[in-house]
Structure 1
Amino acid sequence: MGVSKRLALAGLIWAAVSVVAFVAVSDVIVAAGLVIFGFVLLVVLAMASDWEQHPDFEEREMHRAQRRAARWHRGAGARARDRERWEAHQARKAARTRTPGDDDRA
């Protein structure tokens, strides 16, 4: 029996039990509580129907690693430009700290 057939059967059973609850139970509040509880169980059954169809940990990590690698490759140009700017900044900074005649004072 397929998942959708099983879910349809559960829905039919819930509908039948709901009708019986309102007919058989004299208190409307109790009958409504039973119907709501049955509906919640039906929703849980629907949500759990594809429980085993999710990827496992290794598959998720492999996809995350692929996304990180793609992001890393997309940013390679920006990192190269940043590295060039940093090296130019360090060269300017080193040139500023060196003043003419520093070698003579030592």
Structure 2
Amino acid sequence: MKRYTLSEAEDKLIGLKGSPERDQYEFELKLELIGDTIKRARKRRCLTQEQLGKLIGVKKAQISRLENSTGNVTIETILKVFNALEAKVNFNVQMLNRGDRLLSK
């Protein structure tokens, strides 16, 4: 039986880095990680979804959608949530070389 590294398996099953399929997969994975982080932070603060929703002015259902990565989410909402949870947020933006983007298409 042939063995694959995680990177090889992702390339084979999801698509090569830079492909639309891989980009979509990575985007959804990041949203899921944000949702999991929100849920863990909320529980650490001993808050219900309803209580957190009241803190930022949204309904419990929206907090549930955030935690379960279903529905659209804005950066503004994410920042409001983490602010209410008294959590520090860092964004990392990395610019690609123009040639890198052209080669991946």
TM-score, length-scaled by structure 2: 0.32
Higher CA-based Rg: 1
Structure with the largest fraction of helix: 1
TM-score, length-scaled by structure 1: 0.31
Specify which structure has the bigger relative contact order, considering alpha-carbon pairs within 8 angstroms and separated by 6 or more residues.
2
